[in-house]
Chain A
Amino acid sequence: MKITVCIGSSCHIKGSRQVVEQLQYLIAEKNLGDKIELGGTFCMGKCQKGVCVTINDEFYSVTPETVDEFFNTNVLAKVKQC
């Protein structure tokens, strides 16, 4: 599974670093490092919806506050299907 987080200017100041760091933490905590590839990109063209995140090209709008919920509902569910 590939999770891509936008690290362009707009998402950056909305907290993409916090989102990335929290995702890194959660991935390590659940031992999913070998199943999830975390990457960055500089713009997804949806700056208003930042922080922009995709799971295998499927779009999600995440904030530092909602990253745990996003991980539990979307990432964990999809990883289990893999």
Chain B
Amino acid sequence: MKKFDTKVQYLKYKVLREVARHAWNDTLIEKVLDIPKTIVPGKTSTMRCCVYKERAILAERVKMAMGGDKENKNVIQVIDIACDECPAAGYEVTDSCRGCLAHRCEDVCKRGAISFDHNHVAHIDKSKCVECGMCAKVCPFSAIINRKRPCQLACKVKAISINEDNAASIDDSKCIQCGACVYQCPFGAITDRSYILDVIDLIKKSNHNQKYKVYVLVAPSISSQFSYAKLGQVITGLKELGFFTVIEAALGADMVAMKESKELAEKGFLTSSCCPAFVQFVKQQFPKLLEYVSHNLSPMAMLAKYIKDNDSNAKVVFIGPCTAKKAEAQLDSVKDYVDAVLTFEELQAMFDSKDIDITTLGEDVLDNASYFGRIFARSGGLTDAVKQALSEQNIDFNVNPVVCDGIEQCKIALLKKSKNVLDANFIEGMACIGGCIGGAGCLTHGEKSKTDVDKYGHEAYEKTIGDAISLLK
């Protein structure tokens, strides 16, 4: 029974769980300062130099679990005292250099940055080096390594730099809230702000869904999560937490597929708008291409709007794999529809904060969307759905898609489009590798995730997009 990929996630979860537990019990204000000591008791440190530093960092994690620094608009924030100030010198020759005769490193370096001392050991002149990495590639002893910070390596949009205190620092004008750094930082020093208290407050004040109803939309990537239990048990668990009902966000994806395919045929060129990190990236780096981004709401917002249009007494919470969705929910175009966003990590903490062991629960059902809505969770799924929607609507349009798996591929496609050399008329832009199943808010990531999503897709009661959304008219 593996709940998390890393111990950083586990630590974050423990903090969220304790914060949530006290919130349910109305004891948060009196107990909040005790939480770090509850998690790290005693006098022996287990993670850092001493328990006092551990607790100081935990206090910061408690703050993030309670919503983080409200002055800071970014949902992704650095806990500076948790940053271990990792080496960041770039390419360096290690003591594995044997001072060989071949000097492949020297020959391959176009900048002449490599020289040798009297022991024939290589040295890199940092004033000449451009970090191309060729020397490291050709060294037969693997003696040259790239010392880069995991956060900077993870951040493909280059939003992370090192500040004057040698800690990581996020450039908010470049950050797309994808959460890659959150997942990759080995010290858990970068983290996403949580709205877990907002959700608990919504549920409590609903007075058992009498005052208003709290709907929860669940992203289709849930099919690759909570693998220690059955999906039906997760649904029962959500209702035990106090949500009124559970709906597949994939139904919103079905709605999007229908509209987006029409928009594509009308405009002749389009990019998807489902992934908020991708949309944010276009806004920041390719503002001239913004007109090509689908004007449709995302599946989350589209379905939330439908619910609120039909039930004026509804509140909507979205649970998914995505940290960027937390930022999307703050947008002017979305904030009236979506009241709060949680990740799967946070959902696990919610369950355990109420001591709900989902493996002991009965199985409820979750079935609103079609196969095509469900496979939005993995790279290529959106494109398949758009093709299907064109054919279901008898629209004669030949889609020539470019499926961008991860923000680096998105960047290449957008760059080509900006220079008018892109051989495609549809860009599927997904910031995370693999699609949403690669999201930073997933409990676990793995090879099996895509298979899980496809399997879940095939289990859908409705096989076509038209049938899935026919009920909504």
Seen from chain A, the residues whose Cβ lies within 8 Å of a Cβ on chain B are 5, 7-10, 12-13, 16-17, 20-21, 39-43
Contact = CB atoms under 8 A, between A and B. Distances in A.
B247 A8 contact: yes
Nearest to B245: A43
Nearest to B461: A13
Given A41-B311, A42-B247, A42-B307, A13 B365 contact: yes
A22 to B, nearest CB: 12
Given A9-B365, A10-B365, A12-B367, A20 B471 contact: yes
B360 interface: no
Interface of B: 215, 235, 244-248, 307, 310-311, 364-368, 461-462, 467, 470-472
Nearest 4 Cβ contacts at the A-B interface? A43-B245, A7-B471, A9-B365, A9-B367
A40 B366 CA distance: 17
Given A13-B367, A13-B461, A8 B471 contact: no
A39 B246 CA distance: 19
Nearest to B462: A17
Nearest to A5: B471
Contacts of A17: 462, 467, 470-471
Given A9-B367, A10-B365, A13-B367, A42 B245 contact: yes
Q: Which of A8, A9, A20, A43 has the most CB of B within 10 A?
A: A9
A41 B471 CA distance: 10
B178 to A, nearest CB: 30
Nearest to A16: B471
B310 A8 contact: no
A25 to B, nearest CB: 12
Contacts of B244: 43
A13 B462 CA distance: 9
Contacts of B246: 9
A26 B175 CA distance: 54
B103 to A, nearest CB: 67
B470 A8 contact: no
Q: Which of A7, A12, A43 has the most CB of B within 10 A?
A: A12
Nearest to A4: B310
B471 A40 contact: yes
B470 A20 contact: yes
B215 A42 contact: yes
A9 B235 CA distance: 11
Contacts of B472: 7, 40
Contacts of A7: 368, 471-472
Given A7-B368, A42-B245, A12 B307 contact: no
29 contacts: A5-B471, A7-B472, A8-B247, A9-B247, A9-B248, A9-B364, A9-B367, A9-B368, A10-B364, A10-B365, A12-B367, A12-B368, A12-B471, A13-B365, A13-B367, A17-B462, A17-B467, A17-B470, A17-B471, A20-B470, A21-B470, A39-B310, A40-B310, A40-B472, A41-B310, A41-B311, A42-B245, A43-B244, A43-B245
Contacts of A10: 364-365
B422 to A, nearest CB: 40
A30 B463 CA distance: 30
A43 B365 CA distance: 12
A46 B13 CA distance: 34
B121 to A, nearest CB: 67
Given A8-B368, A9-B365, A13-B365, 7 more contacts: A7-B471, A9-B235, A9-B248, A9-B366, A12-B368, A17-B467, A43-B244
Contacts of B310: 39-41
B165 to A, nearest CB: 50
Nearest to A12: B367
A15 B343 CA distance: 32
A29 B307 CA distance: 29
Contacts of B365: 9-10, 13
Contacts of B215: 42
B439 to A, nearest CB: 23
Nearest to B244: A43
Contacts of B467: 17
A39 B471 CA distance: 9
Q: Which of A17, A21, A39, A42 has the most CB of B within 10 A?
A: A42
A59 to B, nearest CB: 17
A37 B8 CA distance: 53
B354 to A, nearest CB: 21
Contacts of A12: 367-368, 461, 471
